[in-house]
Amino acid sequence: MKKPLGHMTALTFALLSGLMFGLGLILAGMANPAKVLAFLDLGGLWDPSLGLVMGGAIAVGLIAYRIAGKRSTSFLGLPMNIPTSRIIDKRLVIGGLVFGIGWGLAGICPAPAFVLLGAGSVKGIVFLIAMLIGMGVFELLESCRKN
Amino acid sequence: MIIDWNNFTPWTALAGGALIGISAALFILFNGRIAGISGIIGGLFRPVMHDAGWRIAFTLGLILAPIIWLLFAELPNIQIDATYNLLIVAGVIVGFGARYGSGCTSGHGVCGISRLSPRSIIATLAFMGTGFLTVFIMRHILGA
């Protein structure tokens, strides 16, 4: 096992990953909610681009996670935090269904919401604040459920 | 179904997708973390010692992306047709649903499918399904 490198190195890689993710979204056209909705609009003029975005991302991801799955620590010596649950429960399905409704209403999902903030889009910022409130509501309900 | 060939951008879609994939690859191989945005943000609601830094750094990267992009080129068109009221409703639903279902387009859709996780495949089918359905109802039944 490699010795963990400095905290700053890990933070730099996290920043770079986020930056590349955001640049990828912009290049792919996914920071534009109208384009996302054009993909979701099967009944109208359909823009299949988002399907290729997912295809391109998954093609790279498949290789990366194959390598990651064989390692017990990351290249920086950090623990691998890969989910292990295989239980398909109501929460997973209902959460997915609910999320899809919101996604279909505005054409914005969590990652592009942050890109829209950086782009200075007022509508994007309003969505982002509402999204954070939705996450807060989830946390509140969770803490009530546990108590 | 009629394909909108004029707005179909296969090459930038594939290249942007690959960049997203490389980002997810870096994040798992160097940080040992899944590039799932709702989970990354959700973790900030329950602060744990030494757990917030990487979350904030990744999110900061996302926010900085359009600013860095602007140094080299003009930002592509951003068009949001939804009204403010609709954006607020959609935002709350997205935030709640993504956390309730343990992930969104990035965590389940990109990373989860790349891991061949059955949970993520089911979640992605679920949100794709209601995404398609919602747009169909909004545009072709309600005519919004």
Write the pLDDT tens digit of every residue in A123-134: 999 999 999 999
The full set of domain ranges for chain B reads 15-141
Contact B130, A101 (CB under 8 A): yes
**What predicted TM-score, i.e. pTM, was given to this entire model?**
0.95
Higher-confidence residue of A85 and B101: namely B101
At residue A73, φ and ψ (nearest 5 deg) are: -135, 160
Q: A62, A82, A102 — which closes off a domain?
A: A82
- Whether A44 shows a pLDDT value over 70: the answer reads yes
Enumerate residue ranges in chain B where pLDDT < 50: none
Write the pLDDT tens digit of every residue in B70-107: 999 999 999 999 999 999 999 999 999 999 999 999 99
H or E segment and range at residue B25: helix B10-26
Q: Give the pLDDT band (50/70/90) at residue A5.
A: low
A55 close to B (CB below 8 A): yes
Which residues form the domain of A98? 86-147
Q: Are residues A67 and A105 in the same domain?
A: no
A24 close to B (CB below 8 A): yes
Q: Are residues A78 and A92 in the same domain?
A: no
Sign of CA dihedral B92, B97, B100, B106: negative
Average pLDDT over residues A5-27: 94
Which residue in A44, A57, A100 is closest to B21 by CB distance?
Answer: A57
Whether B119 and A86 lie within 8 Å, measured CB to CB: yes
Q: A82, A114, A134 — which closes off a domain?
A: A82
Q: Which residues, other chains included, contact B37 with Cβ-Cβ below 8 Å and sequence gap of 6+? A: A109, A110, A111, A114, B59, B62, B104, B106, B107
Number of domains in chain A: 2
pLDDT for residue A3: 46
Q: A56, A82, A108 — which closes off a domain?
A: A82
- Across the A/B interface, how many CB contacts are shorter than 8 Å? 504
A77 close to B (CB below 8 A): no
Whether B93 and A99 lie within 8 Å, measured CB to CB: yes
Q: Are residues A25 and A72 in the same domain?
A: yes
